[in-house]
């Protein structure tokens, strides 16, 4: 189980160029367990997105104990990446394909003056936000729908149908959290949902507009994509 601050990384997936979580983790795992080790994450988080509990499967011929692997990796990895738990997995376990769903949380700093303490982990929106309106608008997204209007680019996923099992908006003083549980997600889906909810909350749109955007299946009918720093992968469900 991995936890990380994604601010300095170009996302999870290994790629040429800037550092990624998967590339750094794979390098250290192979130094410890051998060059045959394979590292797979449950969620391909984007650049700047964080994880509280990202599930990672490691396939290796090494017989090192999980506790030893955890300790060695935490000694070698940067301080913004931590292995928070390690255990032997059942034969055939796959972090990504075995997942039944994922829970994400998006944090909004709704104070007039942004807090320096959460600037790496929240989107600062100084405009007053009506949480009741946001809840009414987002209610239309619960259940199984075609979420084409809330994905980054057509064709990124062959199947645009996802099931949102839970969607909550919670305010605590100047902080607003939007929590979403779904069986699967399209690229930028959560961030586009959040951007749409903020448009409704600041009264630039009516709550019913979100349902209309969903029905249209057109990306241009939904709201803007919220910035990445407010998004955290909370946990993966198996």
For the chain, what are the domain ranges? 2-83, 101-237
The 10 Å CB-count burial string (b at 16+, else e) for 170-196 is eeeebebbbbbbbeebbebbbbbbbbb
The answer to whether domain 2-83 has CATH 3.30.70.580 is yes
Active-site position among 5, 35, 36, 46 = 46
Structure tokens at 4: 């990380």
Tens digits of residue pLDDT in 172-201: 999 999 999 999 999 999 999 999 999 999
130 is catalytic: no
Report pLDDT for 156.
59
Report pLDDT for 158.
77
Going by their DSSP bridges, the two strands 38-41 and 50-54 should be labelled as unpaired
Domain 101-237: assigned CATH number: 3.30.70.660
Given a cut of 50, the residues of the chain with pLDDT beneath it are none
Does the fold of domain 101-237 match that of domain 2-83? yes
């Amino acid at each position: 189980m991995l936890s990380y601050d994604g601010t300095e990384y170009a996302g999870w997936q290994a790629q040429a160029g800037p550092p990624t979580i998967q590339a750094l983790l794979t390098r250290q795992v192979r130094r410890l367990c051998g060059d045959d080790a394979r590292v797979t994450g449950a969620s391909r988080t984007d650049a700047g997105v964080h994880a509280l509990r990202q599930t990672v499967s490691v396939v290796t011929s090494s017989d090192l104990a999980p506790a030893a692997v955890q300790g060695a990796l935490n000694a070698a990895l940067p301080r913004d990446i931590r292995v928070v738990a390690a255990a032997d997995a059942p034969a055939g376990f796959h972090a990504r394909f075995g997942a039944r769903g994922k829970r994400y949380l998006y944090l909004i700093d709704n104070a007039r003056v942004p807090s320096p303490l959460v600037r790496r982990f929240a989107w600062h929106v100084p405009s007053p936000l009506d949480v009741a309106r946001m809840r009414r608008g987002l209610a239309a997204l619960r259940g199984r729908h075609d979420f084409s209007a809330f994905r980054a680019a057509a064709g990124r996923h062959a199947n645009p149908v996802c099931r949102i099992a839970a969607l909550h908006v919670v305010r605590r003083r100047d902080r607003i959290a939007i929590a979403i549980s779904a069986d699967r997600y399209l690229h930028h889906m959560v961030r586009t949902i959040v951007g749409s909810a903020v448009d409704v909350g600041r009264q630039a749109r009516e709550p019913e507009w979100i349902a209309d955007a969903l029905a249209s299946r057109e990306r241009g009918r939904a709201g803007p994509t919220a910035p990445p720093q407010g998004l955290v992968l909370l946990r993966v469900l198996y």
